[in-house]
Structure 1
Amino acid sequence: MSFVFFDTETTGLRRGFDQIIHFAAILTDANLNEVARFETRSRLQPHVLPHPLAMHVNGLPIERLIDTNLPSHYSMVGDIRRTLMSWSPAIFVGFNSIRFDEEMLRHALFQSLYPAYLTSNHRNCRADALSLVMAVNAVSPERLVVPIGEEGQRTFRLHHLASANGVAHNHAHDAMSDVLATVELCRLVYQRSPELWQRFVRFSNKAAVADFVESEDGFVLTEFFGGRAYHAPVVCVGVDPDQANGRICLRLNQDVDQLATMSDTELQAYLSQKPSPIRRFRVNASPTLTAFFDAPEDMLDGGLIDHIENQARRVKADAHLCARILAAYVASREPYPLSPHLEERIYNGFPGPDDERRMRDFHQASWPDRLAIVQGLEDERLRWFGLRLMYSEARGVLPPVLKVEIEHRLAEQLLGDGSGCLTYDLALAETEKLTTGGTDHDDRLFRYSAYLRDRSARAATLREQKNLRGAV
């Protein structure tokens, strides 16, 4: 199977609110030989304020980000989708991509009225090179050099890893440069640790992960927090009823016989304690799993392998106990409140079949016809994203009253309390903080501050005009 290595540079870290401004990808064959590459950029959308730190890190002035010679965001997303679809099926790999780049891509697709899950569908698989590097460091540390950072801890930052392992990475935080460095690090693992590479490839496929979890009595789950690997022998007790790809596991350092004698109330209280005896992962998120017979002693959490295996078999064989543990854990979880922001509701249900058809029709229609399609969308998320997209791309076809309504709504978001998107006040405060810290050597942030003040004043005028009309 081929691989697609990709990276994004964005206006900030707020998923659903920030946007991709630079996307790069390289297609390779199964042996990691380059076959093709793709790169594109986008100008700012009207409703997005870049975080000043992102501008500083990426080295992009506001004049470049609003350059009308750059493709629009909608145009860029369409090009990305067409390219990645033409490269599918493949294994999609990035560096910290499952937590970040995948999320940014999903939001970009969804807010452009495309299906969000391109890298999970179309027979595609996905994996994360950061997890691969951490797994190598945990299991075979001699295969890759993981440098020590300024604070005396191992650092897994891409540019540090590249430098320590002789990988060229001349332009950190440039999407194509980051992709090239990620490919080279993966080649090193492919050459030096083929067994870990094969496991990495195997568990990029969610069906393979699900089969492994189902067939094994137990296994070692490795999770990474703060640059450290934490190993836990676990047994899967069932599928998360709230998420079909989720698996709920019990750590095997528990007294299983004691758990079996607890009442439902006692069991729920026990599973709610910190640190939790329960571990959860998603089969479609390329988890790091190790069979007991492959696990070295230091991955067994201080337990003896025979005892751990017996514990796993004991739990696995008791379907009633597994069901009680699963039910108690689910009952102990705090429910996720519905976000007031539509941008944060990407996981609150799939569009219905009628809206899926409308989404397809939208991209084939003329701009005047697209307005009727957008207004017919039943999903309020898609309806708002569609109207916002129309305002960004073809506001001339919008009726004047609707255009003003969209402008007021966008202005209120950018003048808001900061619970959603980056606001003018927050952006100005962060810009001033960086400028005071002496990082604005070329007046880039000074010019951005002027841009923010001008935009903020115009938004405040819109608000005032709306209030005056409401008072009449």
Structure 2
Amino acid sequence: MGFVFFDTETTGLRHGFDQIVHFAAIRTDNDLNETDRFEVRSRLLPHVVPHPSALRTNRLSIERLIDGTLPSHYEMVRAIQRTLLAWSPSIFVGYNSIRFDEEMLRHALFQTLHPAYLTSNNGNCRADALGLIMAAATLSPACLVVPLGPEGRPIFRLDQLASVNDLKHDQAHDAMADVAATLDLCRLVRERAPELWQRFIRFSKKATVGDFVESEDGFFLTEFFSNQAYHAPVVCLGPDPDQPNGRLCLRLDVPPEELALMPDEALQAYLSAKPSPVRRLRINASPTLTAFHDAPDLMLNGADLDELEDRARRLKEDAAFRSRIISLYVAVRESFAPSLHVEGQIYDGLLGPDDERRIADFHEASWLEALSIVRDLDDERLRIFGRRLIYFGGRSVLPSDLKLIVERDLTDRLVDNAAGNFTLQQALEETERLLNGEGIDADGILPGYRTYLIDRISRVTEFRAKEFAAATGLPATICSHVCDYPVKIV
């Protein structure tokens, strides 16, 4: 199986609310020889307000983002989906991709009525080069140079890693340049630490991770916090009842007999301590795992390997106690409130087979036919996103009532702090803060963005006032000061 290395540049960091504006990917064979590459950009969606820091970091002017010659967001995602499906099955690799780029891609696919889990399904696997590089720096430090910050802490920024390892990286935060740098770093690890590379490939496969954590009595789980690697000897307790791909593990610091003697209240307090001895991993997120018999002295840190194996074995053999630990832990762990906004509801349920068929038909239909398909969708999330797509691409087929619903919904994203999006006013305030000395704008991007925001705020306020005046009979000059009535995006 070959690889697809990919990267995204986005308008900000909010999954579901920000958008991809630049996507790049390089396909390789099993030996990391390039066989193909793909790159596409998108113009800005009308209801998305870029964060000024993202524009400055990615060196993207607002004039470039609203260039009418660029593909629409929908056209970009269609091209991405076609290319990645044609390159499947592959191992998909990015730099910090599991936490960020994969999430941005999933949301982009979902909001354009495509199956969201392209890189997890279709015979594909996922892996994250950031975890590989952090593991290499700890377990095989001779294979690459890691820069240090002023306080002596390692720095894993892609541009700095590429520089100190003499890798070409002409334009940091350009999607294709970042993909090429990630690929070059992986080539270094593959050449200089082949065992670590093989483990990286092995645990990119969800089924392999699941088999490993269930069959091993115990193992080391490596987690990364603040650019530091932490190695914990753990045993897998069992599946996370709230997450099908989650597995709950217990650190082996305390003999299981001592834990078993604790009353429920005391054991629950132990399990809910910060940091918790219960560690969660996702079998589909390429975790960094090491079998006990492969663990170097650095991981053991003076621990008795025989004792760790014995503790793990005793816990494995006591299914009732493992079940008790899971129940007590789940009962008190912090829960996540469901999002009020459709952009944050991607994980609120899988699509039914009828809706899967309908969204496949959507992309081959005329806009009028697409409207009929959207009306038949069972999933309300898909209906909302489908109406948006029709509004952007063929709004003339929308009845006036549906058009008004979409316009009100999208305009809220521009002005309402409670709507989830980064608003125009928030963007203006942040832009002015940056212009007043907090950061360097070497490319002169921020003044133009400030002008754009002021103009956009003025136009949106004017249109909101006119709509409110039409609805109430009040003069528009009064309504401009008091109305909160959403109107069409301009």
Give me the TM-score of the superposition, normalised by structure 1.
0.97
Provide the C-alpha distance between the structure 2 equivalents of 1:150 and 1:43, rounded to a whole number of angstroms: 39
Tell me if structure 2 keeps the 8 A contact 1:440–1:446. no
Query: Once the 2 structures are TM-superposed, how far is the Cα of residue 469 of structure 1 from its aligned partner?
Result: 4.5
Residues 100-115 of structure 1 mapped to structure 2, 5 A cutoff: 100-115=100-115
Query: Once the 2 structures are TM-superposed, how far is the Cα of residue 398 of structure 1 from its aligned partner?
Result: 2.1
Runs of at least 5 residues in structure 2 that lack an aligned partner in the other structure = 474-490
Provide the C-alpha distance between the structure 2 equivalents of 1:151 and 1:387, rounded to a whole number of angstroms: 52
| Paired letter, 2:389 | L
| Paired letter, 1:317 | E
| Deviation sequence 1:297-334 (CA, Å, 0-9, x none) | 22135421111111111111111111111111111123
Structure 1 equivalent of residue 453 of structure 2:
452
Tell me if structure 2 keeps the 8 A contact 1:269–1:332. no
Query: Once the 2 structures are TM-superposed, how far is the Cα of residue 436 of structure 1 from its aligned partner?
Result: 1.2
Tell me if structure 2 keeps the 8 A contact 1:232–1:301. no
Provide the C-alpha distance between the structure 2 equivalents of 1:8 and 1:44, rounded to a whole number of angstroms: 14
Provide the C-alpha distance between the structure 2 equivalents of 1:148 and 1:384, rounded to a whole number of angstroms: 47
Q: RMSD value over aligned CA atoms?
A: 1.5
CA spacing shift, 1:122–1:442, aligned 2, 3 Å: closer
Tell me if structure 1 keeps the 8 A contact 2:233–2:252. yes
Tell me if structure 2 keeps the 8 A contact 1:411–1:462. no
Query: Once the 2 structures are TM-superposed, how far is the Cα of residue 270 of structure 1 from its aligned partner?
Result: 2.0
Give me the TM-score of the superposition, normalised by structure 2.
0.93
Provide the C-alpha distance between the structure 2 equivalents of 1:433 and 1:248, rounded to a whole number of angstroms: 43
Structure 2 equivalent of residue 63 of structure 1:
63
Provide the C-alpha distance between the structure 2 equivalents of 1:141 and 1:54, rounded to a whole number of angstroms: 32
CA spacing shift, 1:418–1:180, aligned 2, 3 Å: farther
Provide the secondary structure at the position in 2 that maps to 1:276. Answer: coil
Once the two structures are aligned, what percentage of the paired residues are identical?
A: 61
Structure 1 equivalent of residue 478 of structure 2:
none
Structure 1 equivalent of residue 480 of structure 2:
none
Provide the C-alpha distance between the structure 2 equivalents of 1:225 and 1:130, rounded to a whole number of angstroms: 12
Structure 2 equivalent of residue 226 of structure 1:
226
Moved more, 294-303 or 97-106: 294-303
Structure 2 equivalent of residue 4 of structure 1:
4
Query: Once the 2 structures are TM-superposed, how far is the Cα of residue 453 of structure 1 from its aligned partner?
Result: 1.7
Provide the secondary structure at the position in 2 that maps to 1:368. Answer: helix
Residues 188-207 of structure 1 mapped to structure 2, 5 A cutoff: 188-207=188-207
CA spacing shift, 1:345–1:189, aligned 2, 3 Å: same
Provide the C-alpha distance between the structure 1 equivalents of 2:280 and 2:151, rounded to a whole number of angstroms: 30
| Deviation sequence 1:316-354 (CA, Å, 0-9, x none) | 111111111111111112322111111011111112222
Query: Once the 2 structures are TM-superposed, how far is the Cα of residue 355 of structure 1 from its aligned partner?
Result: 1.5
Residues 165-314 of structure 1 mapped to structure 2, 5 A cutoff: 165-300=165-300, 302-314=302-314
Provide the secondary structure at the position in 1 that maps to 2:417. Answer: coil
Tell me if structure 1 keeps the 8 A contact 2:43–2:73. yes
CA spacing shift, 1:440–1:231, aligned 2, 3 Å: closer
Residues 368-383 of structure 1 mapped to structure 2, 5 A cutoff: 368-383=368-383
Provide the C-alpha distance between the structure 1 equivalents of 2:285 and 2:463, rounded to a whole number of angstroms: 44
| Paired letter, 2:461 | A
Structure 1 equivalent of residue 131 of structure 2:
131
Provide the C-alpha distance between the structure 2 equivalents of 1:446 and 1:372, rounded to a whole number of angstroms: 44
Query: Once the 2 structures are TM-superposed, how far is the Cα of residue 266 of structure 1 from its aligned partner?
Result: 2.9
Provide the C-alpha distance between the structure 2 equivalents of 1:234 and 1:103, rounded to a whole number of angstroms: 28
| Deviation sequence 1:109-131 (CA, Å, 0-9, x none) | 00000000000001100000000
Tell me if structure 2 keeps the 8 A contact 1:253–1:303. no
Structure 2 equivalent of residue 416 of structure 1:
416
Number of aligned pairs?
Answer: 472
| Paired letter, 1:12 | G
CA spacing shift, 1:419–1:225, aligned 2, 3 Å: farther
Structure 1 equivalent of residue 159 of structure 2:
159
| Paired letter, 1:210 | G
Residues 325-344 of structure 1 mapped to structure 2, 5 A cutoff: 325-344=325-344
Residues 423-434 of structure 1 mapped to structure 2, 5 A cutoff: 423-434=423-434
Provide the C-alpha distance between the structure 1 equivalents of 2:322 and 2:227, rounded to a whole number of angstroms: 32
Provide the C-alpha distance between the structure 2 equivalents of 1:316 and 1:423, rounded to a whole number of angstroms: 51
Provide the C-alpha distance between the structure 1 equivalents of 2:14 and 2:40, rounded to a whole number of angstroms: 21
Structure 2 equivalent of residue 92 of structure 1:
92
Moved more, 178-187 or 373-382: 373-382
Provide the C-alpha distance between the structure 1 equivalents of 2:77 and 2:217, rounded to a whole number of angstroms: 44
Tell me if structure 2 keeps the 8 A contact 1:408–1:463. no
Query: Once the 2 structures are TM-superposed, how far is the Cα of residue 212 of structure 1 from its aligned partner?
Result: 0.7
Provide the secondary structure at the position in 1 that maps to 2:100. Answer: helix
